[in-house]
Amino acid sequence: QVQLVESGGGSVQAGGSLRLSCVASGYTSSRNCMGWFRQAPGKQREWVANIYARGGSTYYTDPVKDRFTISQDNAKNTVYLQMNSLKPEDTGLYYCAAKLPCYGGTFSNPSDYDYWGQGTQVTVSS
Q: Please give the order of strands across the beta sheet that includes 18-25.
A: 3-7, 18-25, 78-83, 68-73
Burial of 80 (0-12, 13-18, 19+ CB in 10 A): buried
pLDDT digit string, tens, across residues 35-79: 999 999 999 999 999 999 888 899 999 999 999 999 999 889 999
- In sequence order, the β-bridge partners of residue 81 are 20, 70
Residue 104: per-residue pLDDT: 87
